[in-house]
Chain A
Amino acid sequence: MMPALTVRNIVVAVLLVALALLPLYAQLAHDRFLLTLFTRIVILAMAAVSLNLILGFGGMMSFGHAAYLGIGGYAVGMLAHEHVYSGFVQWPVALGASALFALVIGALSLRTRGVYFIMITLAFAQMAYYVVSGIARYGGDDGLTIYKRSQFVAPLDLSNKTQFYYVCLVLLFGAIYLVWRLINSRFGLALQGIRSNELRMRAIGFPTYRYRLTAFVIAGTLCGLAGALLANHTDFVSPAMMYWTRSGDLIIMVVLGGMGSAIGPVIGAVALLVLEETLSGITEYWQIILGPLLLLVVLFARGGIDGLLMKVGRRQDDEVRS
Chain B
Amino acid sequence: MNAPLLKVEKLAKRFGGIVATDDLSLEVGTGDLHAIIGPNGAGKTTLIAQLSGQLRPDTGHIRFDGRDITALPMYKRNRRGLARSFQITSLFLDLSVLDNVALAVQAHAGHSFRFWGNARRDAALREPARAALEQVGLIDRADRPAAALSHGEHRLLELAMALAGKPRMLLLDEPMAGLGPEESSRMVDMLRALKAKFTILLVEHDMEAVFALADRITVLVYGRVIASGAPDDIRANEQVREAYLGDAEEGVVS
Contact = CB atoms under 8 A, between A and B. Distances in A.
Given A186-B112, A190-B103, A203 B118 contact: no
Interface in A200-222: 200-208, 211, 214
Contact of B161 (A182, A190, A204): A204
A193 B165 contact: no
Given A185-B114, A185-B119, A206 B102 contact: no
A242 to B, nearest CB: 27
Interface residues of B, number: 37
Interface in B58-91: 73-76, 78-79, 83-84, 86, 90-91
B123 to A, nearest CB: 13
A188 B78 contact: no
A215 to B, nearest CB: 10
Contacts of B79: 205
Given A186-B119, A203-B54, A196 B106 contact: no
Taking each of A181, A182, A204, which has the highest tally of chain B beta carbons within 10 Å of its own beta carbon?
A204
Contacts, number: 96
A201 B93 CA distance: 13
B15 interface: no
B122 interface: yes
A207 B125 CA distance: 18
Contact of B108 (A187, A188, A200, A205): A205
B104 A184 contact: no
B113 A193 contact: no
Given A184-B118, A187-B114, A189-B119, A196 B108 contact: no
B52 interface: yes
A interface bracket (residues with beta carbon within 8 Å of B):
20 to 34
A203 B87 CA distance: 13
B75 A205 contact: yes
Taking each of A190, A203, A207, which has the highest tally of chain B beta carbons within 10 Å of its own beta carbon?
A203
A185 B90 contact: no
Given A203-B90, A205-B75, A196 B118 contact: no
Interface in B106-122: 106-108, 112-120, 122
Interface in A122-151: none
Contact of B117 (A186, A193, A200): A186
A246 B60 CA distance: 52
Nearest to B120: A184
A205 B165 contact: yes
Contact of A190 (B54, B112, B120): B112
A37 interface: no
A197 interface: yes
B103 A193 contact: yes
Given A201-B103, A204-B78, A204-B107, A185 B116 contact: yes
B99 A189 contact: yes
Given A189-B103, A190-B106, A202 B116 contact: no
Contacts of A206: 75, 107, 112
Contact of B112 (A187, A196, A200): A187
Interface string A161-188: 0000000000000000000011011111
A52 interface: no
Taking each of B54, B83, B115, B161, which has the highest tally of chain A beta carbons within 10 Å of its own beta carbon?
B115
Contacts of A181: 115-116, 118
A185 B117 contact: yes
Nearest to B77: A205
Secondary structure type dominating chain B contacts: loop
Contacts of B107: 201, 204-206
A199 interface: yes
B94 interface: yes
A189 B116 contact: no
A193 B114 contact: no
Contact of B104 (A188, A204, A211, A214): A204
A187 B110 CA distance: 12
Nearest to B75: A205
A192 interface: yes
A114 to B, nearest CB: 18
Given A206-B75, A206-B107, A200 B119 contact: no
A208 B103 CA distance: 13
A200 B54 contact: no
Nearest to B114: A186
A59 to B, nearest CB: 10
A187 B115 contact: yes
A181 B114 CA distance: 10
Contacts of A193: 92, 95, 99, 103
Given A184-B118, A189-B112, A205-B104, 9 more contacts: A185-B116, A185-B119, A189-B103, A190-B103, A190-B106, A199-B54, A203-B54, A205-B108, A214-B113
Interface of A: 181-182, 184-190, 192-193, 196-197, 199-208, 211, 214
23 contacts: A181-B115, A185-B115, A185-B118, A186-B117, A189-B103, A190-B112, A193-B95, A196-B94, A196-B95, A197-B91, A197-B93, A201-B107, A203-B52, A203-B54, A203-B74, A203-B86, A203-B90, A204-B104, A205-B74, A205-B108, A205-B165, A207-B75, A208-B75
Nearest first, the 3 closest Cβ-Cβ pairs linking A and B are: A205-B107, A205-B78, A196-B92
